[in-house]
Amino acid sequence: MREISFSEATLEAMSEEMERDERVFIMGEDIARQGGIFGQFKGLPQKFGVERVLDTPISETAIVGAGVGAALAGMRPVVDMHFADFITVAMDEVVNQMAKVCYMFGGQCSLPLVLRAPDGIIRSAAAQHSQSLEAWFLHIPGLKVVIPSNPADAKGLLKAAIRSEDPVLYFEHKALFATKGPVPDGDVLVPIGKARVVREGADVTLVSYSLMMNKVLKAAEKLAQDGIEAEAIDLRTISPLDKDTIFASVAKTKRLVIVHEAVKTGGVGAEIAALVAEEMLDYLDAPIIRLGAPFVPVPFSPALEKLVKIEVEDIVKAVQGICQ
């Protein structure tokens, strides 16, 4: 299969969906003339015109609010948040408008709106440009949250998000944009709400997503050398969580480790751990382990930044600790 970068994969998804449906357009800061901070929009304005690839003012509330309004008026907007951290500027629009309108208006409307949000730690971007905020939106009924870990899913999930009748937050890790991987040709969608068992194993279940998924797979290989066979699940969708896939794996392995780059406290791992504790406690042979960032903003200095990141070794050690 051909290999392309994560960034190119998202570009293909945009291009194919804009070609397929003229209601699809994208707006955000620095996307048309600059092509996006990570080059993820390069070539789109040349192909579709600056009417459908809109450079906006630095006005997050206006961008997200107008996305909601345009979707209610029959369009299918994709809104780029520049950095996921800046979603916080538009929280009313995301939480009180985008998440609520379908339900609050009694299902009169649908809201086909995608927010693209580059997140995660990269190159000392510091506290306001490095966050992973996906758990905030898991807490809000009415939103769907997807978070690919590789180029194929990046394309397939973005296409599915654009075709979804529901509002979708699409988190894309900044450190993934340049990574390459196999991507199938053509119109291949990744279903929203379905996790994927990336690696099968009988001894422990590793649940992760986004950039951390790559570290989890490396950790699984190392563990295999020690005779521990880990089952690795890539969530791909944070909301709605694919409980069935997680539970089926835990029923088999009886051990669970959840890994994410986001702050551990109140993170996605906390929700999964609680679900398993509530419904599957009898299956467990060891305590559930969560690996996530310590409870501190992402610091600037490389010497400090590395202390908040989860590394392959951390995962290996955590698993060894419960598989003795």
Active site residues per annotation:
129
160 binds another protein (CB under 8 A): yes
109 binds another protein (CB under 8 A): yes
Give whichever of 163 and 222 is closer to another protein, judged by the CB atom.
163
43 binds another protein (CB under 8 A): no
CB of 24 to another protein, least distance (A): 10
What type of residue is 57? P
Strand boundaries in the chain, DSSP class E: 3-5, 24-28, 53-55, 76-80, 114-119, 144-146, 168-173, 180-182, 196-199, 204-208, 230-234, 237-239, 256-263, 289-293
65 binds another protein (CB under 8 A): yes
Q: Cα–Cα distance between 116 and 6 in angstroms, integer?
A: 14
75 binds another protein (CB under 8 A): yes
Q: What string marks each residue from 225 to 264 as x (binds another protein by CB under 8 A) or -?
A: ---------------x-x----------------------
Which residues on neighbouring strands pair with residue 28, listed in sequence order?
55, 80
Give whichever of 94 and 318 is closer to another protein, judged by the CB atom.
94
142 binds another protein (CB under 8 A): yes
Q: In what order do the strands lie in the sheet with 196-199?
A: 196-199, 230-234, 204-208, 256-263, 289-293
| Binds another protein (CB under 8 A): choice among 11, 102, 115, 308 | 102
| Binds another protein (CB under 8 A): choice among 96, 128, 265, 301 | 96
User: What's the CA dihedral at 269, 308, 204, 193 to 10 degrees?
Assistant: 40
Give whichever of 99 and 322 is closer to another protein, judged by the CB atom.
99
# residues contacting another protein (CB under 8 A): 49
Residue that has been written with the tokens 């480790």 in this structure: 257
Give whichever of 64 and 323 is closer to another protein, judged by the CB atom.
64
| Binds another protein (CB under 8 A): choice among 51, 185, 278, 282 | 51
61 binds another protein (CB under 8 A): yes
321 binds another protein (CB under 8 A): no
Give whichever of 164 and 210 is closer to another protein, judged by the CB atom.
164
Within 162-201, which residues bind another protein (CB under 8 A)? Answer: 164-166, 191-194
Q: What is the DSSP code (8-state) at residue 96?
A: I
Residue that has been written with the tokens 């969530």 in this structure: 235
The span of 4-12, 118-126, 159-167, 289-297 binding another protein (CB under 8 A) equals 159-167
Q: Cα–Cα distance between 216 and 209 in angstroms, integer?
A: 9
Q: Which helix (H) or strand (E) holds 273?
A: helix 268-280
Closest to 55 in 3D by CA, of 15, 82, 91: 82
Give whichever of 218 and 243 is closer to another protein, judged by the CB atom.
243
CB of 187 to another protein, least distance (A): 15
Handedness of CA 235, 260, 271, 281 (dihedral sign): positive
Q: Cα–Cα distance between 231 and 205 in angstroms, integer?
A: 5
Strand boundaries in 221-297, DSSP class E: 230-234, 237-239, 256-263, 289-293
- Which residues in this chain contact another protein in the complex, by CB under 8 A? 25, 51-52, 56-57, 59, 61-62, 64-75, 77, 92-93, 96-97, 101-111, 141-142, 144, 160, 164-166, 191-194, 240, 242
